[in-house]
């Protein structure tokens, strides 16, 4: 089973990772946008970490997801803010009121999370955005879990699909946001949003407790 303490550890781990990868994400973004994606992600996740510290006694996983979504939105407020906020809020709804999550619950959370981001952003695969990471992951997770019924196995497949999607953005033309103005100059550069989305999924996989992996 997966508990609030595990979810809290995951969120804090992502915060550390975003801090470590801040410069790299900014470097990617300088080739396509404002060059501040790493800073934006750092600000948003640091805010989540700060709020989590004030909610040490919260045992409801869905409430922690709501906290993460609302806090990220308030801290960031840029285009990525509403996307991840929607993801967390949709995920929270899928596990509403639960203090312990089984394999089906974890799958439901992530399917809702990734679907929520896609619906809010209204982007499609091939447009050089985070959806090139998240949508292949969503499809892979849904199919793999339907086949195996094992979340850890299915999520591992999803993370692999996410990585392939992330790398695919190198050869895509930007069709969304500021980078769409670059035209052919956007080719050859990996999308920073797709990269940070992959980091989030990877962190969840590596932070799964032994009780879930077993």
Of 44, 196, 202, which is closest to residue 131 (Cα–Cα)? Answer: 196
Question: In the prediction, which pLDDT does 20 show?
Answer: 97
Kindly report, residue by residue over 104-149, the tens digit of the pLDDT: 999 999 999 999 999 999 999 999 999 999 999 999 999 999 999 9
Q: What percent of the chain has pLDDT over 90?
A: 82
CA–centroid distance for 170 within its chain: 19
Query: Which residues of the chain carry a pLDDT beneath 50?
Result: 182, 184
Angle at 35 between CA 78 and CA 38, to 5 degrees: 70
Q: How far is it, in rounded angstroms, from Cα 12 to Cα 69?
A: 14
Question: In the prediction, which pLDDT does 103 show?
Answer: 97
The predicted model scores a pTM of 0.92
Question: In the prediction, which pLDDT does 72 show?
Answer: 97
Strand partners, 2: 101
């Amino acid at each position: 089973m997966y508990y609030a303490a595990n979810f809290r550890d995951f969120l804090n781990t992502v915060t550390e990772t975003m801090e470590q990868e801040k410069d790299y994400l900014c470097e990617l973004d300088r080739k396509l946008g404002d060059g501040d994606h790493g800073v934006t992600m750092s600000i948003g996740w640091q805010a989540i970490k700060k709020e989590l510290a004030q909610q040490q006694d919260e045992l409801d996983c869905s409430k922690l997801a709501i906290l993460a979504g609302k806090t990220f939105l308030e801290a960031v407020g840029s285009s990525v803010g509403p996307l991840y906020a929607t993801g967390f809020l949709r995920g929270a709804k899928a596990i509403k009121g639960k203090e312990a999550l089984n394999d089906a619950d974890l799958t439901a959370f992530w399917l809702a999370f990734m679907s929520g981001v896609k619906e809010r952003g209204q982007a499609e695969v091939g447009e050089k955005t985070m959806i090139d990471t998240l949508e292949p992951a969503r499809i892979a997770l849904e199919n793999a879990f339907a086949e195996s019924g094992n979340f850890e196995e299915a999520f591992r497949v999803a993370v692999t699909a996410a990585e392939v999607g992330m790398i695919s953005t190198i050869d895509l033309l930007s069709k969304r946001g500021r980078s769409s103005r670059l035209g052919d100059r956007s080719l050859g550069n990996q999308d920073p949003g797709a990269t940070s989305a992959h980091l989030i999924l990877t962190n969840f996989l590596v932070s799964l407790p032994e009780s879930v992996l077993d």
